[in-house]
Amino acid sequence: MKSIFVTVGTAVALAGFVIGQNGPPPGTPLATIYSSCKVPNTVALTFDDGPYIYERDVINTLAQYNAKGTFFLSVQRFPRCPFRYSSYDRNGNNWACIYDDTRISAIRAVYNAGHQLGGHTWTHADLTTLTWDQIHDQMWRVAEALLRITGAYIAMFRPPYGSYNNLALQAIKVRNQSAVLWDFDSLDSDGATPAESKTRYDQLVARHPSTVLALNHSPLNNTVFDVLPHALSVLSGAGYRFVTVSDCLGGVPPYQFTQAPGVKDASWTC
């Protein structure tokens, strides 16, 4: 009889363990969501969906205005990309991995130039379609990659498509990150022409809000070489300062910790 009770008890305990591993601990709070900057007269330019081939171009352009940006990165090019980005370059690099040497080099250049890095899931997944474990996997792979490459353990995350639910916010919280959305969208990944995106920036400047948290996409040729220079020019002319999301929020830490970057080995694979 004793052995039976032990067996039943063990089974119950295991069931509890399994359930506990597949959902948030009871009472887990929701992550903080930042949709706007807080420090007056700041603009946080954010760049989603890299790394691709334009990161160095972006930071060179930002440097002309002494501007800092924030890059929300994925690990692997995502399947929707060729369809989502009509102007996406189809030169064979679309499906590159974040651990490719050129990507590592570009990410280190971004980080070393003082720009902020954040996560954007491994495969640009819609978090609301994922389980608890899948959300963690998607977030961890990016955090791990950026930790290996730069030594920085990220503290901010942008949910793809701006899509999230309470489960996602609990996972983000458990990972000690916050969610970053935006209050201005150049619509560059939603079919806007460069002229239309530039007009949106002009209209933004005309409204002259106290702060701007702007969404842009660094894999887009038109964004990098046409819209971004215009945005920097008109926003600079209006007197704004260009800072990271962390700084525009008044100094919310950009990273959980920083250490020396890692050295690439066979484990750095997508």
Report in angstroms how near the CB of residue 21 gets to Zn ion at its nearest: 29
- Torsion sign (Cα): 45, 127, 147, 104: negative
Dig out the tokens for 148 from the structure: 């290996």
- Residue 48 touches Zn ion, criterion: CB under 5 A: yes
- Residue 50 touches Zn ion, criterion: CB under 5 A: no
Among 4-12, 89-97, 153-161, 208-216, the segment contacting Zn ion (CB under 5 A): 153-161
Dig out the tokens for 117 from the structure: 């890095």
- Residue 49 touches Zn ion, criterion: CB under 5 A: yes
Q: Which is nearer to Zn ion, 171 or 205 (CB)?
A: 171
Least Cα distance to 203 among 220, 228, 181, 186 occurs for: 186
Report in angstroms how near the CB of residue 237 gets to Zn ion at its nearest: 29
Active-site annotation holds for 48: yes
Residue 219 phi, psi dihedral angles, 5° rounding: -80, -5
Catalytic residue among 89, 217, 230, 265: 217
Report in angstroms how near the CB of residue 10 gets to Zn ion at its nearest: 45
Report in angstroms how near the CB of residue 254 gets to Zn ion at its nearest: 19
Contact with Zn ion (CB under 5 A): which of 160, 194, 219, 254? 160
Q: Which is nearer to Zn ion, 48 or 188 (CB)?
A: 48
Residues 6+ apart with CB under 8 A from 108: 149, 150, 261
Q: Which is nearer to Zn ion, 197 or 205 (CB)?
A: 197
Least Cα distance to 136 among 157, 163, 150 occurs for: 157
Report the C-alpha gap between 73 and 122 in whole angstroms. Answer: 8
Report the C-alpha gap between 163 and 179 in whole angstroms. Answer: 11
Report the C-alpha gap between 154 and 254 in whole angstroms. Answer: 7
Q: Which is nearer to Zn ion, 77 or 148 (CB)?
A: 77
Active-site annotation holds for 217: yes
- Residue 118 touches Zn ion, criterion: CB under 5 A: no
Dig out the tokens for 248 from the structure: 């525009």
Catalytic residue list? 48, 217
Please give the residue ranges that form the binding site for Zn ion (CB under 5 A).
Answer: 48-49, 160
